[in-house]
Structure 1
Amino acid sequence: MTTELRVLKPSEWDKWYGNVVLAFGGVAGAPEHTEMMRTITHFDRLIGAWDGAECVGTAGSFPFRVSVPGGTTAPMAGVSGVSVAATHRRRGILTSMMRRQLDDIRERGEPLAVLWASEPVIYGRFGYGMATRQLKASIDTGRVSLAVPEGTDGIRLRRAKPDEALADLEAIYARQLADRPGMIVRLPDWDRLQILDTPADQGGGSPLQCVLAERDGEAVGYALYRLHPSWDDSGANGTVTVQDLQAVGAPAHAALARFLFGIDLTSTVNMPNRPVDDGWQHLVSDVRRCSLRQWDGLYVRPVEVGAALAARGYRAPVDVVLDVEDAFCPWNAGRWRLSADAEGAVCERTSDAADLALSVRELGSAYLGGVTLRELADAGRVREIAPGALARTSLAFGGEVAPWGPHNF
């Protein structure tokens, strides 16, 4: 039977979402989570592949804005819910959905598509490049201490209920956007999704805990975390799992870290998603007992190369011609002149000779400033044509802080 691809009707959402749940392991979330997902859904951005009355493929996106180098934000499509039924593999369904989705994103005027990759091997062929890394840590707090900076003792900490402190949490989160690329501007109702606290979310741990950091009566940081108590013959050895930590300034960051390290009856702090340049790494007494590991984070795909490169800032002035390969979105293929300085950036088509050659995938990897063009060239993924162009352009694309994606979608 021919597979039909179409935009979802609201009446088809339960069947569509059920297919997503099945593809990602078949364990449905709590009813509250399902209802919240329905609430934040933009039905006109959902694609379903149908074999008769059966939904056999899904893909969707959200109309976000993402922080980019230069302290501003750019429109992006947050791609999510991509799946193909196990019974319908190797029939071109995924490719057809990706084709339809990128065409739609382009028509909406969104220059970037961004996703979390359940399987990284899938998305490179559609032009997505790994653009952020995240740090995972499991810290032995029985053996690791912190040397905190001046001003830490001037931070007041107080416990709060997450829902009652939500306005403060969101204000602190919003203050981070200009400083760190990769962070996503919250859409309506997404703030409540971040503090959803069903038994499934708790995973055998405590209800979600919240501590606010305040300086002179102003909220300047927060930590959201869960406690997982545990005992053995030697005593208590519980775990603190950090869901989110945001802070304005080093003293607030250190005060929250010191609090998490010192919670009674615990001996481990797990941080499953932190920026790779997180400051606490320079405060610990023994970094080897923090079990640090890097993981891939956000994958970025320029949908409109010219608009995407013009939307971000650059660390140094640059004037370079890029020869871009893009077989899946051929409107991007060809030569582009990027000219940028402190006043802004322009990226337009040109017939001038190329200085660098790369695919749109590498352009996506370098876009947020966390993956350098130099390292991509060392891997053979970027080719220097004009001598010196690689060093100048790699410097311009770089950033002062590591990009980071703390916002799931």
Structure 2
Amino acid sequence: MTTQTRVLEPEHWDEFYDRLERAFGGPADHAEERELWRGLTETERSLAVWDDRGIVGTAGAFSFRMTLPGGSLLPVAGVTMVSVQPTHRRRGVLTSMMRRQLDDVHEGPEPVAVLTASEPAIYGRFGYGTATLQMRGDIDTTRTFVRELPGMDAVRLRLVTPEAAREACEAVYARLVPDRAGMLARQPGWDRQALLDPPSGRDGASPMTCVLAEVDGEVRGYARYAVKLDWSPAGPDNIVKLSDIDALDPVTYAALWRYLTSIDLSSRISFWNKPVDDPLLHLFSDVRRCRLSFRDSLHVRLVDLGEALEARTYTAPVDVVFEVEDAFCPWNAGRWRLSGDAKGATCARTTDPADLALSVKELGAAYLGGSTLRAQAAAGLVRDARPGALAEASTAFAGDVQPWLPHGF
């Protein structure tokens, strides 16, 4: 059976999305969620693989701008909606879509592609490296408390509907974007994603609500959450399900967490996406009672290696020659000299002897300053050909805060 890969035409979007849902399994999305993704889909950047009976493979890309170490915003391709029908596995459908997609990105203005993976092992063979982690937690608010900071009582808290607070929350988010690598500047329409709250997705919890934190009349932070009712033989045991919490200063952040821990009839707060170096690690009196866990989040693929490495800054001066393996995007393979510091960088091809040898996947993992080259070398993934080169490069790539992807796509 032959297949053909084509750019998605808008009139075929429903079939495209139906096939995506079928590949992932489970119930169909609520109409509200489906319409959001219909509006966000860039059909001109979406691919459908067809056989003579319809669509058997899907893949898309969003046009994002992502914060890099140093604070600049880089255009990146946000790979999304990737699926293959179970009847067409192991026939090269996924490889053909990845091939077409990365070729298209290479011809465009984005030197980097990013994605979140349902199964991380799938994308490593296409050069994607795990660049950020996310922290999840289940806080026992009966056994730990938020430390008091001077000024917390001056923070005024106000309950509003998420829709009414949308602009205020987005203003806070926008001010935070330059401060942490991996964050995505909101593109038009993406502010609606955080407000999705279909009844079918609440798992028995209340509708989402929002609390705004104000100081001298200025909104300095917010939290969006729902409450899931639960009762034990001893009485109420409700769970606060936290979707988002952001603040512009430590005092406001602490005040929001204190509020969440004191919601009547509740004994737990569950959250599923915060940076691995989030201040909550130091705010709570007993971090063990936060029951933290970690998982991979953003996967990064350097599509145009030289341009990508020049786009960010480096914590310490660096001058190293990389010997890069890249079988899937061979235009990246070979030796590259990276010279840079906190002010900027250059990266160009060279014939000089290599200092470090690695694949493009390892560079993608280290790109945002999270996973260090030294740690990857300890796993045998980076080879040091010049004494001292590994320490120099690893220090230069590392950031002073951990990178973080605030929402999926």
TM-score bracket for this pair, using the shorter chain length: over 0.9
Secondary structure of 2:400's partner?
coil
State the match for 2:18 in structure 1.
18
Letter of the 1:250 partner, please give it.
P
Q: Report 1:3-402 matches (<5 A).
A: 3-402=3-402
Letter of the 1:401 partner, please give it.
V
Q: Is the contact between residue 341 and residue 396 of structure 2 (CA under 8 Å) also seen in structure 1?
A: no
Secondary structure of 1:276's partner?
coil
Letter of the 1:65 partner, please give it.
R
Q: Is the contact between residue 139 and residue 289 of structure 2 (CA under 8 Å) also seen in structure 1?
A: yes
Secondary structure of 2:121's partner?
helix
Letter of the 1:90 partner, please give it.
R
TM-score by length of structure 1 reads: 0.98
103-112 or 341-350, which deviates more: 341-350
The percentage of aligned residue pairs carrying the same residue is: 56
Aligned pair count reads 409
> Residue deviations 1:348-405, cap 9 Å, x none?
1111111111100000000000100000000111111111011111111000111111
- 1:292 Cα offset (Å): 0.9
The whole-number CA distance in structure 2 between the counterparts of 1:324 and 1:148 is 50
Letter of the 1:349 partner, please give it.
R
Secondary structure of 1:134's partner?
strand
Secondary structure of 1:115's partner?
strand
> Residue deviations 1:68-106, cap 9 Å, x none?
100111111000000000000110110010000000111
The whole-number CA distance in structure 2 between the counterparts of 1:406 and 1:355 is 35
149-158 or 369-378, which deviates more: 149-158
Letter of the 1:31 partner, please give it.
A
The whole-number CA distance in structure 2 between the counterparts of 1:322 and 1:192 is 42
The whole-number CA distance in structure 2 between the counterparts of 1:162 and 1:401 is 29
Letter of the 1:290 partner, please give it.
C
- 1:249 Cα offset (Å): 1.1
> Residue deviations 1:221-280, cap 9 Å, x none?
110111101112110000011111111111011011111111111101001111111111
Letter of the 1:138 partner, please give it.
D
The whole-number CA distance in structure 2 between the counterparts of 1:179 and 1:153 is 26
The whole-number CA distance in structure 2 between the counterparts of 1:286 and 1:391 is 34
The whole-number CA distance in structure 1 between the counterparts of 2:204 and 2:82 is 28
The whole-number CA distance in structure 2 between the counterparts of 1:4 and 1:347 is 37
The whole-number CA distance in structure 1 between the counterparts of 2:342 and 2:253 is 31
- 1:312 Cα offset (Å): 0.8
Secondary structure of 1:177's partner?
helix
- 1:175 Cα offset (Å): 0.9
- 1:128 Cα offset (Å): 0.5
- 1:184 Cα offset (Å): 0.6
The whole-number CA distance in structure 1 between the counterparts of 2:221 and 2:5 is 45
The whole-number CA distance in structure 1 between the counterparts of 2:342 and 2:102 is 31
Q: Is the contact between residue 313 and residue 343 of structure 2 (CA under 8 Å) also seen in structure 1?
A: no
Secondary structure of 2:99's partner?
helix
Letter of the 2:193 partner, please give it.
L
- 1:294 Cα offset (Å): 1.0
The whole-number CA distance in structure 2 between the counterparts of 1:17 and 1:107 is 26
- 1:143 Cα offset (Å): 1.0
Secondary structure of 1:65's partner?
strand
Letter of the 2:347 partner, please give it.
C
The whole-number CA distance in structure 2 between the counterparts of 1:340 and 1:183 is 23
The whole-number CA distance in structure 2 between the counterparts of 1:42 and 1:261 is 41
- 1:53 Cα offset (Å): 3.3
- 1:153 Cα offset (Å): 2.0
- 1:154 Cα offset (Å): 2.2
- 1:24 Cα offset (Å): 1.3
- 1:121 Cα offset (Å): 1.1
Q: Which runs of 5+ in 1 are unaligned?
A: none
State the match for 2:404 in structure 1.
404
CA pair 274-342 structure 1, distance change in 2 beyond 3 A: closer
- 1:150 Cα offset (Å): 2.1
The whole-number CA distance in structure 1 between the counterparts of 2:32 and 2:284 is 39
The whole-number CA distance in structure 2 between the counterparts of 1:143 and 1:253 is 20
Secondary structure of 2:178's partner?
coil
Structural RMSD (CA): 1.0
TM-score by length of structure 2 reads: 0.98
